Amino acid sequence: MSDPSLPVPAVAVIGGSGLYRLFEPGTAREVDVATPYGPPSGPVSVGTFGGRPVAFLARHGAGHALPPHRVNARANLWALASLGVRAVVSSTAVGSLDPTLAPGVFVVPDQLIDRTTGRADTYFDGAPGGASGVEHLAAADPFCPQLRAVALEALRAAGEEVRDAATTVVVQGPRFSTRAESRWYRAAGADIVNMTQYPETVLAAELGLGLVNLSFVTDTDAGVLPGEADAADAALVLERMAAAQPRLLALLGAVVAAVPDDYEARELVPRTASRRVLALAPVDGAA
């Protein structure tokens, strides 16, 4: 049963590397949400952010305990949807594959290439106890165009020189790419590289949630700048995310505040099918 004293958060923030907390200590409620897909990365915090009730989940868990390939994205998105979330603003750290895209810039990707393997990437997989039926997500535009427009306007209003479209390639990790892989992804049309945007992005869409991603470029990926000895490393990524945190929080707040109250995501699988997923373990008011 849902807790009637808990405000319904229509918007969620998923925090990536370097973002493990959204609310000041003592100002949010922590909710443990059980899901048919196992436990999410941690408790969901519900508090006020950007002037509205917001749910927050740290993708890698407290203390960055979960590597990218072990993040249970199905449980994470399900937990957020079951609390009433309709719009997700996710943050990620990314490497640049474009010599003209320098570290320190925010990117709002519009396309995605999946290079992960073996991740549970659908609710409609016929698993016993899982969602029933055969559904095919319309994934041509995996990030919500309406939320992307909202985010771009908010970032520009905040004075950011944002890259307003980009293709993100999602690699399996936890290792970074070789120089040859990096050059291959670039040749295939990718602008940025990351380890977590898949399957998170498409799972949100399967549940009928709109998702927009704020990617912060922390590094230039190996092999991008000829002759340079550049190579991403986790310490550098985390150091740069820590330095960018005040900026990231301010931008997330501006984006969250700008999501229209009546926002409804596009229907990329029939709503009846998304509801069938959520109905597996109903939470009052979620379906």
Ligand X SMILES: CSC[C@H]1O[C@H](OP(=O)(O)O)[C@H](O)[C@@H]1O
Ligand Y SMILES: Nc1ncnc2[nH]cnc12
Map residues 81-100 to x or -, x wherever contact with ligand Y holds by CB under 6 A: ------------xxx-----
Is 219 a binding residue for ligand Y by CB under 6 A? The answer is yes
Q: Which two tokens stand for residue 272?
A: 């009846």
Q: Confirm or deny that 196 is annotated as ligand binding.
A: yes
- Using an 8 Å Cβ cutoff, are 97 and 107 in contact? no
Give the E-state strand segments of 97-231 in sequence order. 106-107, 111-115, 167-171, 192-194, 210-220
**For residue 184, what is the DSSP state?**
H
Radius of gyration of the chain (CA): 18
Provide the 3-class DSSP secondary structure of residue 126. coil
Which entry of ligand X, ligand Y, none binds 16, CB below 5 to 8 A by partner kind? ligand X
Q: Which of 78, 106, 176, 185 binds ligand Y (CB under 6 A)?
A: 176
Provide the 3-class DSSP secondary structure of residue 218. strand
Q: Confirm or deny that 117 is annotated as ligand binding.
A: no
Count interface residues toward ligand X (CB under 6 A).
14
Which entry of ligand X, ligand Y, none binds 193, CB below 5 to 8 A by partner kind? ligand Y
One-letter amino acid identity for 42? Answer: G
Choose, from 98, 121, 221, 261, the residue flagged as catalytic. Answer: 221
Which entry of ligand Y, ligand X, none binds 219, CB below 5 to 8 A by partner kind? ligand Y
Q: Which of residues 223-262 bind ligand X (CB under 6 A)?
A: 234, 237-238
| 141 carries an active-site annotation | no
- Using an 8 Å Cβ cutoff, are 24 and 2 in contact? no
Q: Which of 44, 108, 207, 232 binds ligand Y (CB under 6 A)?
A: 232
| In the complex, minimum distance from the CB of residue 196 to ligand X, in angstroms, rounded to a whole number | 4
| 284 carries an active-site annotation | no
The C-alpha atoms of residue 113 and residue 197 are separated, in whole angstroms, by 10
Which entry of ligand X, ligand Y, none binds 123, CB below 5 to 8 A by partner kind? none
Q: Looking at the chain, how many residues does it have?
A: 287
- Using an 8 Å Cβ cutoff, are 29 and 17 in contact? no
Residues 6 or more apart in contact with residue 27 via CB below 8 angstroms: 47, 48
Which entry of ligand X, ligand Y, none binds 221, CB below 5 to 8 A by partner kind? ligand Y
Q: Which of 45, 46, 59, 277 binds ligand X (CB under 6 A)?
A: 59
Choose, from 219, 230, 261, 284, the residue flagged as catalytic. Answer: 219
Within the chain, where are the H helices?
A: 73-82, 145-157, 179-187, 197-206, 234-258, 271-278
- Using an 8 Å Cβ cutoff, are 192 and 217 in contact? yes
Binding site for ligand X (CB under 6 A): 16-17, 59-60, 68, 92-93, 173, 194-196, 234, 237-238
Q: Which residues are annotated as a binding site for phosphate?
A: 17, 59-60, 92-93, 196
Q: Which residues are annotated as a binding site for substrate?
A: 195, 219-221
Binding site for ligand Y (CB under 6 A): 93-95, 171, 176-177, 193-195, 218-219, 221, 232, 237
